[in-house]
Structure 1
Amino acid sequence: MEFDFVEYGSLSPFTQQTVVSGIGRDVCRRLMDDPGVRYLIDSRQRTYDLLITEGFFYVCFLAFSHKYRAPTVLTCAFGGGGSWNNHPMGNPYPLAYLPEAGLAYSSSMSLFQKTYNTLFSLAINLHRVLVYFPVMDEMDLQEFMDAAAEGVIYFSMGSNVKSTDLSEEVRAVFLKTFARLRQKVLWKLEGDSLPNQPANLRISSWFPQSDLLGVAVAAHRNMRLFITHGGMVRVLEALYAGVPLLGFPIFGDQVWNLLRARDSGYGLVLHLRNITQESFDWAVNELMTDPRYAENARKLSRLFHDRPEPPLETAVRSVQ
């Protein structure tokens, strides 16, 4: 890939930051497909005492620090790295006398320059959180799902009900079942860690659900089951994607929504108040092994999509 450094030098400092963050994203995507890097990702036997990695917008490699539970040395020849690289390491970066990389300031800044330096730092770090990190997360998630030859189960109790509010006994039931599965599991679970987390399970407080279930784009080919509380929007997302449901209704219309899915042949309903290891094992196995549930979900999805005009146009025309 050719890069015009002369043209790059004429860009504004903020645009320069967004350009190099995009380059870092593309480099990460390519290197994650490298056989040597793939070996490090998939290895469960090797251990390391220290991770030394380049910090020039290639934060994807910091995941190895987590995987191997090794301390990290971050190197960067990019003007000291700026707050972008110092904050993740816990290093102070006082903006009153340390200009961000790309700004033509010295350590003796005027009040205006200090203010601009602070606002500029805020802007690039907001870009990091709102744009750069979500893209990196999606890359990682894409690899996780692409590698799931036996399929993926997605488990989310929505935005109002938190999985951490469930009793330890109920969570233990879920965890024990997930550990036995050949499929990979995505569990929307608040918190950074889960004791005894099996290798096939990934947790996060947020997943791009509309992408997983195909509301924004085509549903991922490896999606096999959606475990949900049964809100209307969640049921419609599963119907849109043609994915079977396992529901745990909590309140409101959720039980009615899930009973309709059950009676339509593409879902099952359990209740948290009397769930057992045997009932959850049975329900997941039933939905994953009996092809009728997936066939009914796909058939109903085709009917759902078979309409004379897009839903948005229908809504606009009806309002007009």
Structure 2
Amino acid sequence: MKKKSKQKTVWLLLLILVVLLIVFFAMKSINEKKVEEEKQKQAEETVQIYKADGLKEISYEDSEGKTMEFQKEGGEWKYKDDTTIPLSESVMSSMENAFINITAVKEIGEPDDLADYGLEKPAYKLLLTAEDGKSDLLLIGSAAGDNYYLMHEDDEKVYTVSAELLSQLAWDLENIVQKENFVSVTEQNFVKQVVTKADGTETIFDAADEAQKDAVTAVSGGYSGFYFTACADYHVTEKTLADYGLDEKSRIKVVLTYKETNEDGDSEEKELTFYVGSKDSTGTYYYVQLDGSQMVNTVTVSNVETALGL
């Protein structure tokens, strides 16, 4: 009797488990259906202002006539005024992604006079050219709370869009350019440095020379805080190098050898050549240029003079 009772209990538990599983999967299916229906409802309610698979040109202008123009070449975004200036891939990708799918927060069914929305004289004009060559000009007016009024140039409809869209309008190259970084050098990975002044005077700092231990400690200490504070010129030329004291007859040449750990965990020696020019007008920074670069950056006077042993 006990054996039969146990069997009945097992079967009862199995039956309860099956019922619970059926209920679980049924509820899961219902919830998934509700989520899908909610997504569908939101999609149907979304007002699409602009949509494209990708862009090949982006340009915008403010009310004072300042413009920024970008074009895509070989899959890379370029600054139209100077295509040699490298742009940040992540920044430009974020900008493109924001502009290829513009939706409205609200559509104004029967708009009043355009001046009421700041659209008679727009604050911004945004021209987007899709990969298929089709161009659309969007006019952006005044603020509407946390949003902004927007319309197509060739349409009478007025919308409001999130202010986040305007945050993609970068007006300073400082926020778009792919910045240069100086290498990381400390006393532990410093190997050697050759400093050649404009008059040809050469000074060598060698970590392998025990007699230079204190001097190496000092210069490597300068490199611990040696970083580019800002870019003074994104495209210096042979004619403008002298403006920064970076022409051959004025600059200091530095050849720095240091150790770097590779992907395999092994240490290998690297060599970096850079040039130090004059101080800026405030006397706070030196102009510095990496060999082969068209950019001029600034580094604090104290770090430069310590690192070079000046």
The TM-score by the shorter chain falls in which range?
A: under 0.3
Higher strand share: 2
The structure whose Rg is larger is 2
Instruction: Between the two structures, name the one with larger relative contact order (CA 8 Å, sep ≥ 6).
Output: 2
Q: Between Structure 1 and Structure 2, which shows a larger proportion of helix residues?
A: 1
TM-score (normalised: structure 2): 0.21
